[in-house]
Amino acid sequence: MLQLEPRENYTIVRKLDDPNDSDTYYVRAFIRNSKTDALLDTVDLTDKGEGRFTGNWQVVADTVGLGIYIDITTRVYTDSGYTVINEKYADRQDQYLVLARYNPVFGNGSGGGRDIDYKKVRKIVQEEIAKIPPVEIPAFPKVNIPAVVSPKEFEGAFPAQWDPKLGIHVT
């Protein structure tokens, strides 16, 4: 299934199956909303020779932004009034999604683009950090807390021995 850009000019093409058929035919395209089956437009295609027919059509708008599905059905007629359907060629129908195409080069909400790299990001972050005013952290005075009890006073009070190397009582 092809995706069409809303409001773009799209060329509808129908190629007849029999390259040896030299009869004169007329082809009309019917564009419908796939969900509602509402007829949106009809386009009479121009004979370009060798069984190839084309016609330009401006794609409908996607008013919601979530995309819409459309069907383009081409039908072959034997008269210029588009009243007598040719029985040799069956209708051909194709479905399309009408939704804005996102190009990652120009950004689609998922990142930057070609002009964004780590060096540029680093520079931007540094510039923003430089804008933050410095915060003064108050200096706290040094406090010396004298030992209330010396380790020697604990000797013999516990069955443990004081280990001067470790600085603790060891059992």
pLDDT tens string 43-99: 999 999 999 999 999 999 988 888 999 999 999 999 999 999 999 999 999 999 999
Average pLDDT across the chain, whole number: 85
The number of C-alpha atoms within 13 Å of 54 and in the hemisphere containing its C-beta is 8
37 strand-pairing partners: none
CATH of segment(s) 2-98: 2.60.40.10
Distance CA 34, CA 94 (A): 10
Tokens representing 64? 């919601």
Which residues, in sequence order, are CB contacts of 42 under 8 Å at separation 6+? 28, 29, 30, 31
Give the Cα separation of 4 and 101 in Å (integer): 8
Q: Tell if the pTM clears 0.85, that is, is over it.
A: no
What's the CA gap between 17 and 20, in Å, rounded?
A: 9
CA distance 111 to 114: 10
Which pLDDT band, with edges at 50, 70 and 90, does 143 fall under?
A: confident
pLDDT in the model for residue 68: 94
The yes-or-no verdict on residue 104 having pLDDT over 70 is no
Does residue 111 surpass a pLDDT of 80?
Answer: no
